[in-house]
A and B are shown apart, each in its own frame.
Chain A
Amino acid sequence: MHISEGILSAPVLTTGAGLTAIAIGYSLKKIEYKEVPKVAILSSAFFIASLIHVPVGPSSVHLILNGIIGILLGWAAFPAIFVALALQGVLFQFGGITTLGVNTFNMAFPAIICFYLFRKGIRNGNNLTAFSLAFACGFLAVMLSGIMVAIALIFTGEPFIQVAKLVLIAHLPVMILEGLLTVFCIAFLRKVRPEILNIL
């Protein structure tokens, strides 16, 4: 999911950076003071998650956790993912500094979509609906990120359908794994801390 430096063209990079900057500005304005520790913890969870790697075919993929981050943080997913990606770029050379904006947008935007799609059901539904929605949330967030990567790569001349297929097939195990993880987290949180799901 991390697009390396030197692949994307300048317009794609600036568009990504611009959109990410707007989203981070908006979310920092919106964020509640008492929410910040939660954002920090989920940001570090994201930071570590990409070290957990799953070997698939000719490539290797890693956990992303953007579904659960979206559900728990809402718009604050943007700063959380941005900070974690910046540190991954600096410390592990994943992705890169110039592609930071695009990569943040590719992973945080699906998180926001999942937040708006699933938060009500996950918070209010009975156990069965909440769990199936949680699975869908983890699954869909990764899938959308894959599609975003493919879209970003269109402008480099790589054919969209081919890249999208490749990314999605490679991430299928991750989607399933993330779906299950999200179910696990939601089940735990609903039982222990249901109020954590009450965010705007």
Chain B
Amino acid sequence: MKNKLYLILIFIFLIIVVVNIPVFAHKVNIFAYVEGDRVYTESYFNDGKKCIDSKIEVFDKQGDKLLEGLTDEEGEFSFEIPQEGDLKIVLTASMGHRAEYSILADELRDTAGSNKDELEEPVSVVSPEISSLDLKEVQSLIEDVLDKKLEPIMREIKKSKTDKISPTEIIGGIGYIFGIFGIIAYFLSRKR
């Protein structure tokens, strides 16, 4: 029995050595961010491959579909913010793969909503030389600079979202499997 187990183990190791392809997963991810009055999404498989021609649907809080579209060759898709309020973006890639990403209402309001809501008030306070046009320009300038500055951070966040599988999880998973079958073996042994 011991000998037999040993041999099976060796042969599993052989399989893994023979097919020594980098360890990656099979899962889709979607990442979205707001820039100006548009929402940009990027979709990719866990190994970094882009999802091309995959369907993207946008839902509101009540689950009603607001719009849908297909990703381009870069796995990207962008749309104008359709409404204020939480958005749920759902990616459906081929063969039963699906991922979701939520954008909260505050995220949207910070960028888009501000143009309408908060613009009028400051104008009256500031000295009359500064027209509302200038303010608008200043605001869009700040937004542009901020977007540019935040881009690397966004990329970092996106990268960390790819959640590569760590060896700890793999070894832990194998441990769980042996544990579970240990329990099964225990109950089977009591039956006899």
- Contacts A189-B11, A196-B8 aside, 10 further interface pairs with beta carbons under 8 A come to A2-B96, A51-B170, A53-B47, A58-B53, A59-B94, A84-B177, A152-B96, A166-B95, A181-B18, A181-B19
In the complex the two chains form, is A3's CB within 8 Å of B96's CB?
yes
- Select A193's contact among B4, B49, B97, B177, beta carbons within 8 Å: B4
Scoring A31, A42, A44 by chain B CB atoms within 10 A of each residue's CB, the highest score goes to A44
In the complex the two chains form, is B18's CB within 8 Å of A59's CB?
no
Bound-complex Cα distance A33 to B186 (A): 9
Answer whether residue B62 sits at the interface, using C-beta atoms and an 8 A cutoff.
no
User: Chain B residues near A38 (CB, 8 Å)?
Assistant: 4-5, 8
In the complex the two chains form, is B26's CB within 8 Å of A185's CB?
no
A-B contact pairs, 14 of them (CB 8 A): A1-B95, A2-B96, A4-B99, A33-B189, A44-B173, A51-B23, A53-B23, A60-B24, A60-B26, A83-B177, A92-B27, A94-B27, A152-B96, A166-B94
Bound-complex Cα distance A62 to B4 (A): 28
Shortest A200–chain B CB gap in Å is 16
Answer whether residue B180 sits at the interface, using C-beta atoms and an 8 A cutoff.
yes
Bound-complex Cα distance A42 to B177 (A): 10
Point out residues on A near B: beta carbons under 8 Å.
1-8, 28, 31, 33-34, 36-45, 47-55, 58-63, 79, 83-84, 87-88, 91-94, 149, 152-153, 163, 166-167, 170, 177, 181, 184-185, 188-189, 192-193, 196
In the complex the two chains form, is A36's CB within 8 Å of B185's CB?
yes
Instruction: Take A48-B16, A53-B24 as given contacts and tell me if A92 and B169 are in contact as well, using a CB distance cutoff of 8 Å.
Output: yes
In the complex the two chains form, is A7's CB within 8 Å of B173's CB?
no
Closest 10 CB pairs of A and B: A40-B181, A3-B96, A4-B98, A36-B185, A44-B174, A33-B188, A87-B173, A44-B177, A53-B24, A91-B169
Q: In the complex, what residue of chain A is closest to B176 when comparing beta carbons?
A: A87
Q: In the complex, what residue of chain B is closest to A106 when comparing beta carbons?
A: B96
In the complex the two chains form, is B21's CB within 8 Å of A192's CB?
no
- Select B98's contact among A5, A42, A185, beta carbons within 8 Å: A5
Scoring A28, A40, A42 by chain B CB atoms within 10 A of each residue's CB, the highest score goes to A40
Point out residues on B near A: beta carbons under 8 Å.
1, 4-5, 7-9, 11-12, 14-16, 18-19, 21-28, 45, 47, 49, 51-53, 90, 92-100, 163, 165, 169-170, 172-174, 176-178, 180-182, 184-185, 188-189, 192
User: Chain B residues near A196 (CB, 8 Å)?
Assistant: 4, 8
Bound-complex Cα distance A53 to B58 (A): 30
In the complex the two chains form, is A7's CB within 8 Å of B188's CB?
no
Interface SS, A side: helix
Bound-complex Cα distance A37 to B23 (A): 25
In the complex the two chains form, is B26's CB within 8 Å of A53's CB?
yes
User: Chain B residues near A5 (CB, 8 Å)?
Assistant: 98
Bound-complex Cα distance A41 to B174 (A): 9
In the complex the two chains form, is A55's CB within 8 Å of B11's CB?
no
